[in-house]
Amino acid sequence: MKLWDKGVTIDQRIEKFTVGNDREIDLHIAIYDVQASLAHAKMLTSVGIITSKELQQLEKGLKEIALQIVEETFVIEPQFEDVHSKIEYELTKKYGEVGKKIHTARSRNDQVLVALHLFYKDHLQHVLSKTESLFNTLLELAETHKKTIIPGYTHLQVAMPSSFGLWFSAYAELLIDDVYMLQAALKTVDQNPLGSAAGYGSSFPIDRDFTTTELGFTTLKYNVVAAQLSRGKNERIIASALGGLCNTLARFSMDICLYMSQNFGFISFPDALTTGSSIMPHKKNPDVFELIRGKCNKIQALHTEMLLITNNLPSGYHRDFQLLKEHSITAFEDVIEILTIFEYAIKQIKILDIDLSDEKYHYLYTVDSINTLVINGDSFRDAYQKVGAQVQSGTYTPADAKEHTHIGSMGNLCLDKIREKFSEARK
């Protein structure tokens, strides 16, 4: 039941250790192995290695397996090492010799690599789509609450006036930076590695352009050694991109947790979105955003893991690469879940009234006071000294709020420009 079986019995302890939980992980890439196998079979027909009749049999068998995968009835039993050996076994059991031909001109390394490329490509597009949805929600919230003032903070000290419009659109625009990285990762994996075989190509006259077009890749990884070298590099780039997005979401979640606390009291959520305490009946805990923060911080550590597993490995295939799959696949599933629940919750945010006359916000408008003096003829430095002296002596009287009209300020959020920039980033 192994693609590399040569009739030698393998020590069971060694087999258990080397296979690990690959069967469970491979269920995530099973559909992509079917897609790649079908494209490979069509290519073999086009170059005369298998017949049209044999292709018809393989197509029928692979489509039946694909249906089982979609319906979640596909199982990789313990006697199989991985999804690749299971699929080849099923084809051989049903169609005999033609099932044995599907592996012609490719290696298991080849199969894993192209299946992962397809998985990564598909899931990066899903993450980008979810990110765009969250971006649109944040801009809608920014537009709705653009005139609602909140205190801004530096060093966690009251600093200058801000607004909910500024807050929501700030994180929306940060998502654009994350999209740049996600698009770069997508471009990196959108290169067909199929045909590299064990990393050094094949003496069969395979047509790699055929499978590139058939599988929907933009281009191919021309050099077969470079194709194998992409294993590990892909995961590092993806981990960096997902980590960047998670950094944005973790910081946003931290803001939300702070702003929900009674000490701030800026926002709230419906009771159904919060949790309670087993002994304190008044508690409304932001567990969703705390878990988002924690999960996002965990995903940010993935890049270090990928780096340490693959750092300084020489060219060619190494079994270390097997360890890249599990956490890379899990990270995608977690990020998609995080984006979904984040948008679901943030849509239900409640903006609370803030009493800006409260003593703790007494110095919120000191900069506006300085600017008023500058407009009336003082130099900035002299105005700063005057207001600073008033603060020190306890004689400062808050000034009236001034309009902020420059690009990107409270009174000029440039939401249309931010939306346009996102659209450009997604191209």
- Angstrom distance (rounded) from CA 58 to CA 46: 14
What's the Cα-to-Cα distance from 350 to each of 141, 288, 291, 340, rounded to whole Å? 11, 15, 20, 19
Choosing from 52, 155, 393, 406, the catalytic residue is 155
- Angstrom distance (rounded) from CA 182 to CA 186: 6
Choosing from 129, 133, 261, 277, the catalytic residue is 277
Structure-block tokens of residue 48: 């005369």
Q: Contact at 8 Å (CB) between 85 and 1? A: yes
- Quick one: angle between helices 380-393 and 366-375, nearest 10? 140
The separation between CA 230 and the C-alpha centre of its own chain, rounded to angstroms, equals: 19
Q: Contact at 8 Å (CB) between 178 and 186? A: no
- Is 303 a known active-site residue? no
- Angstrom distance (rounded) from CA 325 to CA 26: 9
- Angstrom distance (rounded) from CA 192 to CA 208: 8
- Report the 10 Å Cβ neighbour count for 4: 9
List helix spans (H) across 145-223: 164-189, 208-214
- Angstrom distance (rounded) from CA 223 to CA 99: 29
Burial class (CB in 10 A: 0-12, 13-18, 19+), 402: middle
Pairing of strands 350-351, 267-268: antiparallel
> Residue 70, SS3?
helix
- Is 277 a known active-site residue? yes
154 forms bridges with which residues in the sheet? Answer: 157
DSSP state of 316: S
Active site positions, annotated: 155, 277
